[in-house]
Structure 1
């Protein structure tokens, strides 16, 4: 098959020229390629560059990338690869989303480790540009080919793979975390701060709060070490970490506050909130970047104080919290979840708050999640919790139809993301009201249970 493919581009060109009755000079004029160069390409005496391939493809009226797969076979598998042609090929394929072509070529090229250094640099470039799927292919190939199994570059590859592999599936994320964690020690010491932060975030999304607390403590220790190290240096080096160092200590305390909240230790959560706000107050002459971070943490502190008080049963601050949310729209989903949760726990009527955000909740319900991103994975969990708590709230008010409707919304997302623990909670709550569900709701529920594949859970 490959033997046939290596001539396909030339065969296509020659066939096109015959059908269009084009002489070589005329086709040269159309493509903008020198007639001598074009002749050498067609005779197989000269390799074709990516730019020339695109010029020819365009002149033939074909979409860009039409010949890329064949070009990859001809130039990098059946012929000795040359970086001058391979690099632009990777960039063009990545830009067009031709991932299969990248995979095919890279698998062959990395066999002899000839271009491992260059491929890593391209992977980093793809990562920075947001070409995540293409970057993942390169990182995995480089990691597989890395000779020195304790190298910093291997660790960085594993870090990038960890970031790119995260999905909405809890078990997949746990596997990714367990696989990556041993590589943290091999990373640059500043990058370790980002890695620990990201790892703690992931453990939070799968509710392993003891692990989050452990990593938060580790983040504080490593940040303090870096601060001390920098104070001893005569000359400040270029920052490698994604954020200023003080941010990591503040974020670690924010994580500890989150853990305390999950443990229902709300006074302790308020103490940690005071700590990270005090860190922000201690920054003198902040840069524009630092001031933006200071404002962000102070905003979180304000909102979280309202939240912790409400979760403690103090609903006197609810209206002030709602005013805060009117300015901080990005926090509405998680805030509504906890407000409804607290209302369920303390049997407090929050209809006015739900009416205030009715349109927003409807919009949340119809939006779909995107797989593969940490924030979306966390948002997916909040979505499930929000509609589960709304279901409990409406069912407690004897608004059965609306309550079951919210419950089915939550269960549907549980099933699609394989969140079995929340599936069980939804199924248990539905069981208490199944006799009062409408015919349509019963049908929806049965379809979801069938999709879940657990025959014992039936309506």
Structure 2
């Protein structure tokens, strides 16, 4: 069976190189190189990369063999394993990482080191490699109530989100049981991320429950904050007041979703009071400005949803000055138009160019993740379809409806698919031949069996 040493020997023989010549090409001491080829000395990662380069081969060419020889067929040594994992991560060799890790974790002594590497890869945004290690550590964690296990599960949750709301829901429910095992400050970020996910899939009861829990925990941390030394490293991503304010922002959002706009306004005022802090730092001020922006937009939004048509112009000015809010803002305008029979053609005309960029790489996405954007596109096209159909603009309305149906089908959003199918059924007689064919194509894909 071939190994790296035989590859080197064959290369020297075929190319006619003497050992001294090749040692100079690889910049490795000739005695060291001789010992490596004879098998009396294991090569380091640097030496392997130098040999690979000298042979004119692509980086990582021998990594699979190296993994087998050093960590599977031989007793692994962390001094070699650690740089190997980093190099595999840098080159995206995920299968090799998975193969090696599966074998080395038979020895529980490596779990501590693997977790440290996983955190390092995570902090360097090498997410796919980090995910493999976090999942491995979580599977091997001996103490099932440890903070480290909880942190692994939190990282897995962050790294494993998909466009399928069912997958995300499953991940969120799993994370819930680990929240209290996290460091008390880290809990704030984990709960915030849970709230964001539940908000994206409109599980309002969950958003409300966890937002109130976030508020409770944030207020407790704020109360004990003065006891901490100022040089203590902050573990939260944001200053503590942010989490209390954000909790109330999300509670306000829950009431808005339930059309209880007067209660939504009450919690809007509450988070606007929370951000009134003394002597804000530069970081604090950036967050304060963000909440002030949200508060101004939400104030106009709630007035709009209470039927105050006169705020539409100022609300359009707001979303135009905050381009990342145009998608959500137009959804709100269309929903108000549906509720109160407003004619908002002028709004659609004003944002025509931006609408054309929806669902493209040119759309200004702001801080919204793919999950929330995908949901936003679906809702926008559905609301646009309803509005245009109510305006008797059937062709435009059905085109928008089919766009929503296609997006809902691709993201496996069954509820939105059903809403689209129902609305199409009401107005199918208004569809033209092209729209009928397009509709049939989507329905055939929905009906097709899946295997896996």
User: TM-score range, shorter-chain basis?
Assistant: over 0.9
Note the alpha carbon deviations across 1:196-225, whole angstroms, 9 max, x for none.
Answer: 111111111221111111111111111111
TM-score by length of 1: 0.94
How far off its partner does 1:426 sit?
Answer: 0.4
Note the alpha carbon deviations across 1:402-438, whole angstroms, 9 max, x for none.
Answer: 2111111111110111100000000011112212212
Distance 1:313 1:200 in 2: 29
| Mean CA deviation greater in 324-333 or 235-244 | 235-244
Paired residue for 1:63? 58
Distance 2:9 2:400 in 1: 63
Q: Does 1:403 align with 2:397?
A: yes
Paired residue secondary structure (1:398)? coil
Distance 1:354 1:28 in 2: 70
Q: Does 1:347 align with 2:347?
A: no
Paired residue for 1:391? 385
Q: Does 1:131 align with 2:126?
A: yes
| Mean CA deviation greater in 321-330 or 153-162 | 321-330
Paired residue for 1:270? 265
**Structure 2 unaligned residues grouped into runs of 5+:** none
Q: How does 1:46-445 map to 2 (within 5 A)?
A: 46-233=41-228, 237-281=232-276, 283-367=277-361, 375-445=369-439
Distance 1:368 1:379 in 2: 13
Distance 2:263 2:371 in 1: 27
Contact 1:412 1:448 in 2 (8 A): yes
| Mean CA deviation greater in 144-153 or 227-236 | 227-236
| Mean CA deviation greater in 17-26 or 230-239 | 230-239
TM-score by length of 2: 0.95
How far off its partner does 1:151 sit?
Answer: 0.7
**Structure 1 unaligned residues grouped into runs of 5+:** none
Contact 1:162 1:177 in 2 (8 A): yes
Change (3 A) 1:23 1:234: closer
Contact 1:257 1:270 in 2 (8 A): yes
Change (3 A) 1:66 1:395: same
Paired residue secondary structure (1:296)? helix
Distance 2:97 2:429 in 1: 55
Contact 1:166 1:173 in 2 (8 A): yes
Distance 1:258 1:41 in 2: 65
Stretches (4+) displaced over 4 A: 233-236
Paired residue secondary structure (2:358)? helix
How far off its partner does 1:374 sit?
Answer: 8.1
